[in-house]
Amino acid sequence: MKNLLKKDGVQSFVASLICILLGLLIGYIVLLFINPTGAGAAILEVIKNFFHYSKPSLQLKNFGNTLVKTAPLLMCSLSVLFCYKVGLFNIGAAGQYVAGACAGIYCALKLGWGWLPCLIAAVVCGAVFGVAVGLLKAYRNVNEVISGIMLNWIGLYLANMLLSSVKEVASPYTLHIKTEAAKALLPSLGLDKLFNGNQYITLAIPLSVLLAVAISVILNKTKFGYELKATGLNRNAAKYCGMAEKRNIIVSLAIGGALAGLGGALLYLTDYEQWLCTGSSVPGMGFNGIAAAFLGGLNPIGTIFSSYFIQHITSGGAFVDKTMYCSQISDLISSIIIYLCGFVLFIKYAMNKVIASRENKAAAAVKSDDVPAKDADETKGGEA
């Protein structure tokens, strides 16, 4: 048990669990303050999400809907994660997501392209937004958080402007891709049958999971990934070792942008949602991606689960009793969780300290009936 807790992966998992539980607890307390009578039921609705329905067929369909939105979220969190490994905080993922969504919708509705070229266009546009941040960071020393935020807003207004040309006459939303540009609709690969004929289930879901695995392999098993991580740990040391640290920064942001951009297209090309051309706030998907990335312990595989969890509670927020609470309660919970993720280092530190002090005590107990030389070794192990 003790040895298990010493492993970094296990510690990350435990720390994330603590964050989730504390986040839900604080959310529950907030609900209690707003209206004490329905707080328990509301927090249960958030946790239950699609189990809200009693019929298995409806459950399955709504589970599918949650998955449809998990795919873009996973892409955004992979984008954040990938850049974070290179020491960059890609808050611009939200803007890259918008750029990708815009490119996908525009190419589908205006230019009448098929789904694959649309996806490629989204990837390219997302990457362009990422590269802009990367160039500014590498050559002009601009803080990537601030330039990212600026590009988020530029992207939003740009998307609103471009997509106004393909919007419905009577509403501020863009046209339905299903009816207007059916060939841009992502292929379902027959997966929709698994989810009780949920038409929005497409290749997006398996693709995003595959990409998570691919990112994991790139980061952990390739020379390229090693160089990127080295640049993240110490830019100057990487440069000293002959790595092109500026190129690494730009490339990582390009990949991050491409991932987030693809995420945007993966959602909108299922026709699950239409773009709102008068929107005045940047879609929250990119910001939730930050939550998912940190909650997943900055591990691509962990991110798959944390993305699902964040989307699960976000979708669950829609089921709370609207006469008492609003659906933003799940935004509140996920932002509390991100806040708590800031304490992950501290939680790990505390865990290590407890383990170390226990081992020291055990070592001291052994000391009385053991040879001194071995004891010295053990204390050292405990400290390390």
Which of helix, strand or coil describes residue 276? strand
- Among residues 191, 175, 193, 147, the alpha carbon closest in space to that of 271 is found at 175
C-alpha 334/C-alpha 89 separation (Å) is 18
Only one of the segments 6-14, 256-264, 265-273, 285-293 lies at the binding site for another protein (rule: CB under 8 A); that segment is 285-293
Only one of the segments 56-64, 106-114, 198-206, 337-345 lies at the binding site for another protein (rule: CB under 8 A); that segment is 337-345
250: which DSSP letter?
A: H
Q: Is residue 351 part of the contact set for another protein (CB under 8 A)?
A: no
C-alpha 131/C-alpha 122 separation (Å) is 14
Only one of the segments 112-120, 262-270, 335-343, 360-368 lies at the binding site for another protein (rule: CB under 8 A); that segment is 335-343
User: Contact, 295 vs 15, CB < 8 A?
Assistant: no
In whole angstroms, the minimum distance from the beta carbon of 288 to another protein comes to: 9
Q: Which of residues 155-194 bind another protein (CB under 8 A)?
A: 157-158, 160-161
C-alpha 112/C-alpha 34 separation (Å) is 49
Task: Pick one of 13, 153, 173, 305: the residue that binds another protein (CB under 8 A).
Answer: 153
Query: For residue 63, which amino acid is it?
Result: F
Task: Pick one of 181, 249, 335, 363: the residue that binds another protein (CB under 8 A).
Answer: 335
In whole angstroms, the minimum distance from the beta carbon of 229 to another protein comes to: 17
C-alpha 117/C-alpha 125 separation (Å) is 12
Task: Give the ranges where 241-328 is alpha helix by DSSP (H).
Answer: 245-268, 285-295, 300-316
Q: Is residue 233 part of the contact set for another protein (CB under 8 A)?
A: no
CB contact burial 297-323 (16+ within 10 A = b; e otherwise): bbbbebbbbbbbbbbbbbbbbebbeee
Q: List residues bridging with 174 in a β-sheet.
A: 167
Q: Is residue 142 part of the contact set for another protein (CB under 8 A)?
A: yes
Report the interhelical angle of 329-341 vs 8-34 (nearest 10°): 140
Task: Pick one of 331, 359, 375, 378: the residue that binds another protein (CB under 8 A).
Answer: 331
C-alpha 69/C-alpha 59 separation (Å) is 16
176: which DSSP letter?
A: P
In whole angstroms, the minimum distance from the beta carbon of 258 to another protein comes to: 21
In whole angstroms, the minimum distance from the beta carbon of 336 to another protein comes to: 6
Q: Is residue 146 part of the contact set for another protein (CB under 8 A)?
A: yes
Contact mark string toward another protein, 19..38, x via CB under 8 A: -----------x---xx---
Q: Which helix (H) or strand (E) holds 383?
A: helix 372-383
In whole angstroms, the minimum distance from the beta carbon of 36 to another protein comes to: 12
C-alpha 83/C-alpha 164 separation (Å) is 32
Q: Compare residues 120 and 332 and give the one whose CB is closer to another protein.
A: 332
Contact mark string toward another protein, 89..118, x via CB under 8 A: x-x---------------------------
User: Contact, 76 vs 285, CB < 8 A?
Assistant: yes
In whole angstroms, the minimum distance from the beta carbon of 94 to another protein comes to: 11
In whole angstroms, the minimum distance from the beta carbon of 9 to another protein comes to: 20
Q: Compare residues 4 and 161 and give the one whose CB is closer to another protein.
A: 161
Q: Compare residues 262 and 336 and give the one whose CB is closer to another protein.
A: 336
Report residue 202: phi and psi, to 5°. -135, -170
Only one of the segments 9-17, 136-144, 172-180, 234-242 lies at the binding site for another protein (rule: CB under 8 A); that segment is 136-144
Written as one string, the DSSP assignment of 96-143 is HHHHHHHHHHHHHHTS---HHHHHHHHHHHHHHHHHHHHHHHHHH---
Task: Pick one of 50, 115, 287, 309: the residue that binds another protein (CB under 8 A).
Answer: 287
User: Contact, 135 vs 253, CB < 8 A?
Assistant: no
In whole angstroms, the minimum distance from the beta carbon of 27 to another protein comes to: 10
| Contacting positions for another protein (CB under 8 A) | 30, 34-35, 89, 91, 136, 140-143, 145-147, 149-154, 157-158, 160-161, 280-281, 287, 290-291, 294, 322-326, 328-329, 331-332, 334-336, 338-339, 341-343, 345-346
